[in-house]
Amino acid sequence: MSFMDILALIVPAAIVSAAPLIFTALGGVFSERSGVVNIGLEGLMLFGAFTGAVTIYYGEQLGLNGAAPWVSFIVAMIVGAMLASIHALASITLKADQVVSGVALNFLAAGLAIFLTKKIFNAGQTPVISERISKSDIPFLSDIPLIGKLFFSNAYLTSYVAVGVALIVWYVLYKTPFGLRLRSVGEHPMAADTMGINVTKVRYIGVLLSGALAGLGGAVYVASISGNFTHSTITGQGFMALAAMIFGKWHPLGALGAALFFGLAQAISISGSHIPFLQDIPKVFLLIAPYVLTILALAGLVGRADAPKALGTPYEKGKR
Amino acid sequence: MQNKNNKVKLLVPLFSVFLGLLIGGIIMLLSGYKPIEAYVALFQGMVGDPYFIGETIRQMSPLILSGLAVAFAFRTGLFNIGVEGQLLVGWLAAVYVGVTVDAPTIVHVPLAILAAAVAGALWGAVPGILKARFKVHEVITTIMMNYIALYSTNEIIRNFLLAPGERTENVKESASLASPFLQSITEYSTLHYGIIVALIAAVIMWFLLWRTTMGYELRAVGFNQHASQYAGINVSKNIVLSMAISGAFAGIAGSMEGLGTYQYMTINAAFTGVGFDGIAVALLGANSAIGVVLGAALFGGLKIGALNMQSIAGVPTELVGVVIALIIFFVACSYIVHWLMNRVSKGGKI
pLDDT of B1 strictly over 50: no
The Cα–Cα gap between B169 and B171 comes to 6
pLDDT of residue A63: 82
Strands A135-136 and A155-156: antiparallel
Give the chain B residue whose CA is nearest to the CA of A289: B148
The Cα–Cα gap between A216 and B152 comes to 31
Q: Residue A225's pLDDT band (boundaries 50, 70, 90)? A: confident
What is the DSSP-derived secondary structure letter of residue B167?
B
Q: Residue A320's pLDDT band (boundaries 50, 70, 90)? A: low
Which residues are CB-contacts of B284 (< 8 A; sequence separation ≥ 6)?
B13, B16, B17, B291, B294, B295, B298, B299, B327, B328, B331
pLDDT of residue A224: 87
Considering only the C-alpha atoms of chain B, give the largest distance between any 2 of them, rounded to a whole number of Å. Answer: 69
Question: What stretches of B213-317 show up as alpha helix (H) in DSSP?
Answer: 213-223, 225-230, 235-255, 274-284, 289-313
Q: Which of A299-303, B46-50, B153-157 has the lowest mean pLDDT?
A: A299-303
Domain assignment of residue A292, yes or no: no
Q: Residue A65's pLDDT band (boundaries 50, 70, 90)? A: confident
A5-35 pLDDT, tens digit per residue, is 777 777 878 888 899 999 999 999 999 999 9
How close A101 comes to chain B (CA, Å)? 6
Q: Please judge whether B332 and A104 are an interchain contact, meaning their C-beta atoms are less than 8 angstroms apart.
A: yes
Q: What is the mean pLDDT of chain B?
A: 90
Q: Residue A303's pLDDT band (boundaries 50, 70, 90)? A: low
Q: Where are the domains of chain B?
A: 61-297
Residue B134 touches chain A, beta carbons under 8 Å: yes
Residue A195 touches chain B, beta carbons under 8 Å: no
pLDDT of B350 strictly over 50: no
Q: Residue B5's pLDDT band (boundaries 50, 70, 90)? A: low
Give the chain A residue whose CA is nearest to the CA of B323: A108
Which residues are CB-contacts of B211 (< 8 A; sequence separation ≥ 6)?
none
Rg (CA), chain B: 21
Q: Please judge whether A108 and B329 are an interchain contact, meaning their C-beta atoms are less than 8 angstroms apart.
A: yes
Q: Chain B contacts of A231, Cβ < 8 Å?
A: 270
Planar angle of CA B105, B108, B112, nearest 5 degrees: 140
pTM summary value: 0.89
Number of independent structural domains in chain A: 1
What is the DSSP-derived secondary structure letter of residue B64?
H
Which residues are CB-contacts of B248 (< 8 A; sequence separation ≥ 6)?
B69, B117, B118, B120, B121, B124
Domain assignment of residue A266, yes or no: no
pLDDT of A263 strictly over 90: no
Domain assignment of residue A287, yes or no: no
A79-104 pLDDT, tens digit per residue, is 999 999 999 999 999 888 898 899 89
Q: Please judge whether A100 and B283 are an interchain contact, meaning their C-beta atoms are less than 8 angstroms apart.
A: yes
B198-247 pLDDT, tens digit per residue, is 999 999 999 999 999 999 999 999 888 889 999 999 999 999 999 999 99
Domain assignment of residue A295, yes or no: no
Q: Chain B contacts of A239, Cβ < 8 Å?
A: 143-144, 147
Residue B203 CA: distances (Å) to CA of A114, B68, B78, B190, B291? 38, 10, 21, 24, 12
pLDDT of residue A17: 85
Instruction: For residue A91, give its domain range.
Output: 18-129+152-235+247-252
pLDDT of B175 strictly over 80: yes
The Cα–Cα gap between A76 and A68 comes to 12
Q: Which of A58-62, A175-179, B161-165, B334-338 has the lowest mean pLDDT?
A: B334-338
Q: Which of A50-54, A124-128, A208-212 has the lowest mean pLDDT?
A: A124-128
Q: Which of A104-118, A122-136, A254-268, B225-239 has the lowest mean pLDDT?
A: A122-136
